[in-house]
Amino acid sequence: MALSYHETELRELLQDFHTLTGIRIILFDENYNEILEYPPKEKTFCFCLRKCEEFDKKCRRSDEDSFLKCRQTKNIHIFKCHAGLSEATAPIIENGHIIGYMMFGQVSDNKNKDEFFEQMTALCREYGLEKDLSQQIRKIKYRNENQLRAASKLLDAYVHYIRLKELVQPAGQLLIDSIDRFLEEHIKEEITVERICKEFRISRTRLYEVIRPYTNGGIASYIKNKRLEYAKYLIQNTKLSIAEISDAAGFSDYNYFLRIFKQKYKISSRKLRGSQAITRQKKREIIEDQ
């Protein structure tokens, strides 16, 4: 599932995280594709070493293992990558579904700089790169356990802030929001799958693929339920007749409307109208008694 995101605001947030912690941070979509990062990965130790295909495969496997751990627990996961560097991954969750991840890493928790340098040099030697990466190894930052724990809490706070401000959204949710606005404006009209595809310039296959996680049925069922929700609102908040409401909600067959309304809400439209009238009368009586 693709992500829609506010790039400018997110870049500022990633840069702020790095300013506070000195640690590199990356945003991924749910399919583990890198979306944004700070600072740029060029000339970093990991970027240079990942030019080696074998090493790159191990890095990807390590990242994917952390993503899977997040998917299982729905919580932040602190770990060491296959190269021995400290990292953390936090899931971005929308309505119980993971839509992306944020990861920080490429730091060392070994305070013995000489020992760490020898370990990383030995790792590079396996791939014949020890001479090329000696300077990059010395640029890897040290963070102790408390600093890593604090950074992980900050990462978790970032994830919640991003969702609160809706800086990251699944592309399907944006399409659903647009379809909802379209339905509100044209609810009385005939609305077909073909019309929606034409309106949003999307194929039928792609439409179903994108909205599937956000609907319990197909798009036609989704449209029907939106019509019923609107009809219920009119019953509860207007004095229109049931027949007028059926027409206003876009149902050409009045008897069909009566039947499916009762199926959905377990009460007939007329009984609901009657119960609303009783409720309004009781409210008036309470106000008059006061």
- Tell me, yes or no, whether 50 and 182 share the same domain: no
**Tens-place pLDDT, residues 215-242:** 777 888 889 999 999 999 999 999 999 9
Last residue of a domain, one of 166, 201, 234: 166
Instruction: Report, as an integer, the average pLDDT of 166-186.
Output: 85
- Tell me, yes or no, whether 117 and 192 share the same domain: no
The number of domains in the chain is 2
- Tell me, yes or no, whether 160 and 179 share the same domain: no
Task: Enumerate residues 6+ apart whose C-beta is below 8 A from 261.
Answer: 228, 231, 232, 268, 269
Among 12-26, 45-59, 178-192, 206-220, the range scoring the smallest mean pLDDT is 206-220
Instruction: Report, as an integer, the average pLDDT of 31-40.
Output: 91
**7 vs 128: CA distance, rounded Å:** 38
Whether 14 and 27 have beta carbons less than 8 Å apart is answered as: yes
Q: At residue 37, does pLDDT exceed 90?
A: yes
Q: At residue 48, does pLDDT exceed 90?
A: no
Angle, helices 254-265/269-289, rounded to nearest 10 degrees? 60
pLDDT on residue 285: 47
- Tell me, yes or no, whether 96 and 183 share the same domain: no
Last residue of a domain, one of 128, 151, 166: 166
Positive or negative, the Cα torsion across 77, 26, 24, 63? positive
Report how many helices (DSSP H) and strands (DSSP E) the chain contains, helices first: 13, 7
- Tell me, yes or no, whether 32 and 153 share the same domain: yes
Q: At residue 271, does pLDDT exceed 60?
A: yes
- Tell me, yes or no, whether 145 and 35 share the same domain: yes
- Tell me, yes or no, whether 8 and 146 share the same domain: yes
**153 vs 73: CA distance, rounded Å:** 16
**36 vs 40: CA distance, rounded Å:** 9
Domain of 178, CATH number, reads 1.10.10.60
Domain that holds residue 265: 171-289
**Tens-place pLDDT, residues 87-101:** 999 999 876 778 899
- Tell me, yes or no, whether 52 and 191 share the same domain: no
